[in-house]
Amino acid sequence: MSRLELRGIAKRYGAVDALAGADLTVPSGALLAVLGPSGCGKTTLLRCVAGFERLDAGEIAVDGRTVAGPGVHTPPERRHIVIVPQEGALFPHLSVRDNVGYGLSREERRSDRVEEVLTLVGLSGYGDRMPHHLSGGQQQRVAVARALAPRPSVILLDEPFSALDAALRTELRRDVRAALRADGATGILVTHDQGEALSVADQVAVMREGRVLQSGPAVEVYRAPADAWVAAFVGEAVFLRAGNGVRPVTGGTALSTALGPITVAELPGGTGDLTVMVRPEQIRVTTASAGPAVTATAIGHDFHGHDATVTLHLADGTRITARVPGHAVPVTVGATVGVQVEGVCRAWRDRA
């Protein structure tokens, strides 16, 4: 178990600032998912941590020991940090056992360690198989076992599930997380998939243009995003202007909006206009006959199975999307419905 700290790390390729002063801490034994749009520097960050790239500025420390920084560049083979790439890159001519034992000393290979990590990834008894006799998902499991075998300080996973179909992805990421936990490994998972990041990781970091905009527990990043960009990147978001009707309520402050009063936990200071962010699943859609305070016109309904999205037109002309359970009675397009926001929301002020 190791704690990883990145302080202001920068990496430039020609005119491109791939990393422009990224800060990040991964607590010991945690799995942190890095999310961000294509080209924001996720892979470069992993390559710098692994030691395949030299930093232009900043510092990387493992358990307080600097492995990269001014005048320091510990080579990759001495960092005890491993990368699992998108496609596991197993040695095709070696058995599963020999692939997993590849980086181990002769003594470790003779110990139970290989079988132990194969069991962790759900492949107990597969040691004699050759890689081409395994499915894509099983090959990725072997790649993870091979990475875990030497008990690295940190394990880096670069979109390791992206080539797999949806059902297999879900199963594999759950098992890989369990394997990392059982082995006490500290990990960074790079993914394009917001759902994957929020569901699998203890911590989520959101990157943009070479910087980490926010990192923290998945629930915190989703519910209390640092800004509107992060809010929209990690999930669907509805943004509403708030009026001047501010009043204290239990659990925060109520703001008046086109969706009725909305509670925010923290009222931002300053004097600029207020924008409130609501997640679509916080918007409850009821029948108009229930006598709701706020009504809207349903202008669309998309059924997704587990849930459905309802597009609504508010009285002030704002168009919003609500997410309702899949088992709810479908709203009729054109009908007037009641709307109400549940739970606590997030607000920002425009710069005055």
The backbone torsions φ and ψ at residue 241, rounded to the nearest 5 degrees and listed phi first, read -75, 140
d(CA 162, CA 349): 38
44 binds ligand ATP (CB under 6 A): yes
Lookup: tokens for 143? 């790649």
**Angle ∠(224,198,121) on CA atoms, nearest 5:** 155
52 binds ligand ATP (CB under 6 A): no
Nearer to ligand ATP, 11 or 79 (CB): 11
191 binds ligand ATP (CB under 6 A): no
131 binds ligand ATP (CB under 6 A): no
Helical ranges in 84-165 per DSSP H = 96-101, 106-110, 113-120, 136-148
CB contact set of 241 (below 8 Å; sequence gap of 6+): 257, 258, 273, 274, 275, 276
Options 30, 42, 141, 145; binder of ligand ATP; rule CB under 6 A: 42
CB of 96 to ligand ATP, least distance (A): 28
Q: State the DSSP H helix or E strand holding residue 289, giving kind and residue range, or none if neither.
A: none
For ligand ATP (CB under 6 A), the number of binding residues is: 11
36 binds ligand ATP (CB under 6 A): yes
50 binds ligand ATP (CB under 6 A): no
d(CA 47, CA 9): 12
Nearer to ligand ATP, 54 or 304 (CB): 54
**Angle ∠(157,5,45) on CA atoms, nearest 5:** 45
Which among 134, 136, 141 has a CA at the least distance from the CA of 157? Answer: 141
Stretch that binds ligand ATP, among 42-50, 162-170, 260-268, 331-339 (CB under 6 A): 42-50
Nearer to ligand ATP, 21 or 29 (CB): 21
Nearer to ligand ATP, 40 or 117 (CB): 40
CB of 39 to ligand ATP, least distance (A): 4
18 binds ligand ATP (CB under 6 A): yes
- Given a contact cutoff of 8 angstroms between Cβ atoms, the answer to whether 188 and 201 are in contact is no
- Given a contact cutoff of 8 angstroms between Cβ atoms, the answer to whether 221 and 206 are in contact is yes
Stretch that binds ligand ATP, among 12-20, 71-79, 254-262, 324-332 (CB under 6 A): 12-20
Show contacts with ligand ATP in window 155-184 (CB under 6 A): none
Stretch that binds ligand ATP, among 40-48, 66-74, 215-223, 254-262 (CB under 6 A): 40-48
Contacting residues toward ligand ATP, per CB under 6 A: 13, 16, 18, 36, 38-44
